[in-house]
Amino acid sequence: MSTELVLLALLMFAVTYPSRALGLLTPGFERLPRVALDYLQLVGPAVLAALAVVNAVVVVRAERPMLNVGIEALGVVACLAITAWRKNLLLGLLVAVVIVAVVRAAGIAPPPG
Amino acid sequence: MTVDTALDPGSVATARRRLLMEALGIAASATGFGFVYGLAAREAGFSPIEAMAMSTFAFAGAAQFAAIGYVASGLAWPGVILLTFLLNARHLLYSAALAPWLRDVPFLRRAVMAHLLTDEAFALAIGHFRRLGRTDERGYWIGAIASTFIPWNLATLAGVLLGAGIPDPTRFGIDVIFPAAMIGLAVGLISGRRELVAAIVGGGVGVVMSLITSPAIGIVAGGLIGPLVGLQVPAALAHETAPLGTVASAERFVVPGAHVKDVPDPDRPWQEPRP
């Protein structure tokens, strides 16, 4: 069983724990410049959106990245719409999975790769 | 003992009952989402030990999901570390907000508390303390451990073990869980026009740079350039509804659909003096 990523998990801990601990263990550490706060507020949406879109529409074939807008992208859009509308991510995920599974089972779209 | 003993037993019991009810709602959501994380991690090739290590040591839902994508796209570890740091840096503000309430707790216990400080734990604890008007250390442990840490880790284990038993995950559409979860989490974080612009630009830059270079570089570029463009939206036009470091902001990072009810929503809790 692979354990290589355990080290990565520990490194992720090493860069996450200080953010969680500095305020609690070092009084007076709370004041960051306003622009830094604003930037941090925007990192989450940007990086998650980049991950979502890249994983949904970019495939690598023969070591070459290619655009591939398929049923996976439709599933992601459906999840986006449901999460924005119903504020329920689990429901959005369920709908996305069902859409992709049904379309593939019907033979309309094969799995990528 | 800490300040727990100074509290009125009746009010503490009532507040803890309410805290427990809130924690149960969060726990249900963490269970479902932790299970999905376990499935997605398995689909990306993580072993059960690796998936569990992420949930135990990193213990940060969005960053863990993101790490699946980073690893799957071949992003070098320094890139993973940088993006994890940026994605989790918001905890600094939660930590600072809770510091005045917890300063009488012994150092070592505060050090352990820090590891359990998630969006959920912050939202539950700050609301609990403010309702009581005082610190309740046990309330913090209840919120942090019962609502998130235990459910998240058990559900991760269940997901990664069950995922290993599925012979062809793509047949069941499980491969779409990861990008769908990412876009759903991103939607949950959009609380103003700056976030919206950052997300759109992040996604767009990510795709373009992925096609020009590689998905790994595209994701980093989108995650770093998106916020820079989002900052260009003037504050007056941003219509920000959940500034970072507030309970409203913490709830944005909590899995959409899981809400802490009736918690006071101060604008900048970390700047408030302790009662």
pLDDT digits (tens, 9 = 90+) for B179-229: 898 898 888 878 889 999 999 999 999 999 999 998 888 988 998 999 999
Per-residue tokens: B174? 């499980």
Residue with the bigger pLDDT between A78 and B176: it is A78
Closest alpha carbon within chain B to A17: B115
- Average pLDDT value for chain B: 83
Question: How many Å apart are CA B262 and CA B259, to the nearest integer?
Answer: 9
Question: Please, what sign has the CA dihedral across residues B102, B106, B109, B111?
Answer: positive
How large is the greatest C-alpha to C-alpha distance in chain B, in angstroms? 64
Mean pLDDT calculated for residue range B26-39: 87
Chain B (209-238) residues lying within 8 Å, Cβ to Cβ, of chain A: 210-211, 213-215, 218-219, 221-228, 230-231
Q: What is the pLDDT of residue B249?
A: 66
- Per residue in B16-27, pLDDT (tens digit) is 988 888 888 788
B272 pLDDT band, cuts 50/70/90, is very low
- Per residue in B146-167, pLDDT (tens digit) is 989 999 999 999 999 998 887 7
Any A CB within 8 A of B30 CB: no
Q: Which residues of A touch B176 (CB under 8 A)?
A: 56, 72, 75-76, 96-97, 100
Question: How many Å apart are CA A113 and CA B18, to the nearest integer?
Answer: 50
Q: Burial level of B150, CB count in 10 A (0-12/13-18/19+)?
A: middle
pLDDT surpassing 70 at residue B262: no
Give the DSSP H/E element, type plus range, for residue B265.
Answer: none
Q: What is the pLDDT of residue B137?
A: 94
Residue A51, min C-alpha distance to chain B (Å): 6
Check residue B134 and report its DSSP letter. Answer: S
Question: How many Å apart are CA A46 and CA B202, to the nearest integer?
Answer: 5
B270 pLDDT band, cuts 50/70/90, is very low
Which residue, B125, B124, B120, is CA-closest to B110? Answer: B125
Chain B (40-59) residues lying within 8 Å, Cβ to Cβ, of chain A: 45-50, 53-54, 56-59
Q: What is the pLDDT of residue B274?
A: 42
Residue with the bigger pLDDT between B70 and B274: it is B70
A15 to B84: CB separation less than 8 angstroms, yes or no: yes
A55 neighbors A112 (Cβ within 8 angstroms): no
Q: What is the pLDDT of residue B23?
A: 85
Check residue A6 and report its DSSP letter. Answer: H
Which residue, A64, A60, A29, A51, is CA-closest to B94? Answer: A29
Q: What is the pLDDT of residue B7?
A: 58
Q: What is the pLDDT of residue A29?
A: 58
Give the DSSP H/E element, type plus range, for residue A80.
Answer: helix A71-86
B257 to A90: CB separation less than 8 angstroms, yes or no: yes
